[in-house]
Amino acid sequence: MPKELSAWDKLTIAREPDRPTALDYIDNIFDEFIELHGDRQFSDDKAIVCGLARLNETNFTIIAEQKGRNTKENIERNFGMPNPESYRKSLRFMKQAEKFNRPIITFVDTKGAYPGIEAEERGQGEAIARNILEMSRIRVPIIVIVIGEGSSGGALAIGVGDEILMLENSVYSILSPEGYASILWKDSSRAKEAAEVMKMTAKDLLEFKVIDKVIKEAKGGAQKNLKAMSESIKNEIINAYEKLKNIDKDELINRRYNKFRNMGEYKTKA
């Protein structure tokens, strides 16, 4: 039997520079994709990519956190850490999806929302809270896929969905292990220990019923076979949408609400 990877091992894989990004998957999964821009208030923050995609004659709205491949791209994408205008852009297109009855797919991959003073001045906390509130009552199916790091409110702001899927070596947590160790133990060097304590892996979160399914990766991570990984995600999107597409709108909202209410109760008991 191969040795089970530790939480830190999986986090390391999730942070690999060559790990596929949201746009890599979008390019490989969908038959067509058109990017849409701007929050109509401040700017077009590139840490989140929004657009329209087609898959097997179904139109989807895509909301995707996007990291860069190199220093130049990371600066352009703000290292995948969204500013409030990214969340407002996301909400704009989620509301558009609701208007035109398009299902929504979100790709989660961020170390967290950008913590800079400019972001706070423009209402970072409010933008995140607004997205969480509005996503809870959007009247179309929402499929959430955690493809790398899913940290803090930066992830949850596009993470309220009807089906929540995680790649095997992705992580989903309240903050980074480094941040957790610094706050709890005043020692960021204990990050590896924190990763285990936090129960942030896909396996842990499936057990806690925080997510609905784990998508297997190739040995060594998704970057070892992008085409196969994309095909797996594509199949899971199709399957998830088939389960959700005929659910009555009011029932969809009630199920989503109860999903997150029960999730909190389960974790409290655990």
H or E element at residue 65: strand 58-65
pLDDT of residue 264: 53
7-269, superfamily in CATH?
2-enoyl-CoA Hydratase; Chain A, domain 1 (3.90.226.10)
What ranges do the domains of the chain cover?
Answer: 7-269
> Tokens in use for 225?
């076979």
Query: Can you tell me the distance from the alpha carbon of 169 to that of 146, in angstroms, rounded to the nearest whole number?
Result: 10
The alpha carbons of the chain give a radius of gyration, in whole angstroms, of 17
pLDDT computed for residue 4 by the predictor: 83
Cα 125 from Cα 255, distance rounded (Å): 26
What CA–CA distances, in Å, run from 259 to 9, 136, 182, 253? 30, 10, 31, 10
User: Mean pLDDT of successive 10-residue segments in the chain (270 residues)?
Assistant: 84 94 97 94 94 97 95 92 96 98 98 94 96 97 97 94 98 92 94 95 95 95 96 98 97 95 58
Identify the pLDDT of residue 145.
Answer: 98
| Token output for 2 | 């191969």
Q: What share of the chain is helix, strand, coil (3-state, %, to 5)?
A: 50, 20, 35
Residue 3: per-residue pLDDT: 74
- Residue 78 has a pLDDT of 92
Which residues are CB-contacts of 196 (< 8 A; sequence separation ≥ 6)?
6, 7, 8
Cα 201 to Cα 77, 246, 256: the distances in Å are 25, 31, 22
C-alpha to C-alpha distance for 256 and 67, rounded to whole angstroms = 28
| pLDDT tens digits for range 208-233 | 999 999 999 999 999 999 999 999 99
What's the token pair of residue 67?
Answer: 């990291």
- Check: CB of residue 190 under 8 Å from CB of residue 126: no
Burial class (CB in 10 A: 0-12, 13-18, 19+), 192: middle
Can you give the pLDDT at residue 265? 57
